[in-house]
Amino acid sequence: MDSGEARMTTLVAPTPEAGSKQAQIMEAAGTLFLEHGYSAVSMDAVAKKANVSKATLYAHFGSKEELFRAMVACECANSVMSSVWDEAMDLPAADGLRLIGRTFVRFIASPKALGVYRMVLGEVLRQPQLAQAFYESGPAETFQRARQFMAHMADKGELAITDCDLATHQFFGLLKANMHMKLLLCLSERPSDDELGRYVDAAVDLFAKGYAPDKS
């Protein structure tokens, strides 16, 4: 990951009140995007699904891309991943890695997360800005928070990491392995939580040993 990517900022997620027009719109858009794909969904269809006028829709979201970005950012802000970072920082390195890892694999293996990934991958050549919006609003934030964890553990002397970008890439690579690809391609069923936990424990053990401080 280059320094420009490391400095990437993410979209601030909206916080619509339950039952509000904005919440109705985002829920309707999410349902339609996942059912039909981004390109096939019009703002007219979103307005109809949300039971709002087009004027109300455009008062909240100026374009379909803006609506998509807001939807993804809101989903990420409210996902299980958002709750783990502070807790992980206060744990020993291996325990923090295990907490991050278990939460991450359960999230990426969820039907909703897989549906969003598939939708974006299906549009990437026609709508490259969609992929950028998705990356900035979701995976980039997760990567940066994990990188901060790596730097924190390196500063504490619990992990001997000199390149936090590389270490973070390696850790997520170990977690996803071939499992995530097979799920995206519908080539396997979602592993049980016990199986996912076994994958994470093996990844954490390997990573922690590889970056263990020299005790000599």
Please give the domain boundaries of the chain with CATH numbers for all domains.
Answer: 14-67 (1.10.10.60), 79-210 (1.10.357.10)
Residues 6+ apart with CB under 8 A from 129: 65
What's the confidence (pLDDT) of residue 3?
38
Q: What is the DSSP letter of 20?
A: S
State the average pLDDT over residues 92-115.
Answer: 94
| Residue 209, token pair as written in the block | 């040993």
pLDDT in tens, 2-53: 333 333 334 455 666 777 899 899 999 989 988 888 888 999 999 999 999 9
pLDDT for position 34 = 87
d(CA 92, CA 100): 12
For residue 88, pLDDT over 50 is answered with yes
pLDDT of residue 13: 56
- Residue 198: the pLDDT is 94
Average model confidence (pLDDT) for the chain? 87
**Closest to 142 measured CA to CA, from 183, 171, 178, 116:** 171
Q: What percent of the chain has pLDDT over 90?
A: 59
Residue 67: which of 183, 75, 187 has the closest Cα? 75
Residue identified by tokens 């936990």 is 197
